[in-house]
Amino acid sequence: MLTARQLYFEAVKVGDELPPLVKPPVDRLQIARYVAAAQDWNPLFIDEPHAKNAGFPSALAPGMIAMGFLAELAAEWVRGARLRRFQARFVKIIWPGDVLTARGRVVERRFEEGGRYAMDLELWAENQRGELVVKGSGTFQLYYNAEDEARQRQGQAPLVVTREEEEARLAKLSRAVPPRPAQPVSRPLAPPRQLAPPPARQPGPGPAPQAARPAPAAPAKPVKAAKPAKPAVRARPAAKKPKTKARPHPAKRGARKENASRARARRPAKKPSGKKKRR
């Protein structure tokens, strides 16, 4: 029975990225379990005073734990492919409490002789600060498709497909798929155009204009008798106020009197006439 989650070579493309694998923080219990399982009794992993005397702030975490995370990520993604090669290089020390994230991508896919198909993965792990702690790579062999897997499981020869045949098949599939209709590009609304006035009608021979029909006369309304107009009231002229002569200022009056007395003093005295007044 074939597994439904099998990864085939025809579905792999260069540049495909593996979903990141985020692991819980590395703790002392995980370190102890790894040391016991791998029989790696390095005192830097389990002896805190020894690690501090060696110049480290605390005990270290084995780098093979991060390498195991890379293997877990690749094995979960390839889903049953054959492992050919797997290696890793430790870049930075892993400390207890670090949160590691394993990542990867497809860097190459190859058509080999005899109907074998391989791909290369680039793998690496980062801590919670985004620092690279482990860098690795892996090579895996896959079935080309479900038909190739069924043939090999039945003991038959593998399905042989060359790169040229695959490119021709993909080109044929791309031509069979109808292209999507292009969406109309929305253009900005243009300003309204000013309509030109209609040309003036030139005099010339033409049908005589028909006389306008008179509109029907409206029924006459009864005229009401006009009321007698009231006699107009004549307005009385307003009484005129007597004009009062403005009196000069007292200072001006004193100046006038003084000028008048000076003028009288300058006049020459009248000579006595020979006539006597009658009594």
Domains and CATH numbers, the chain: 17-25+61-142 (3.10.129.10)
Express as a percent the part of the chain with pLDDT over 70: 64
pLDDT greater than 60 at residue 21: yes
pLDDT greater than 60 at residue 271: no
Express as a percent the part of the chain with pLDDT over 90: 52
Interval 112-142: pLDDT, tens: 998 999 999 999 999 999 999 999 999 999 9
pLDDT band at 79 (very low <50, low <70, confident <90, very high): confident
pLDDT score for 184: 63
Interval 164-197: pLDDT, tens: 988 888 888 777 656 666 666 666 566 666 666 6
pLDDT band at 3 (very low <50, low <70, confident <90, very high): very low
* 137 closest CA partner among 126, 150, 122: 122
Rounded mean pLDDT of the chain?
80
pLDDT band at 260 (very low <50, low <70, confident <90, very high): confident
Token look-up 């060359």 returns 162
Residues 78-102 have a mean pLDDT of 94
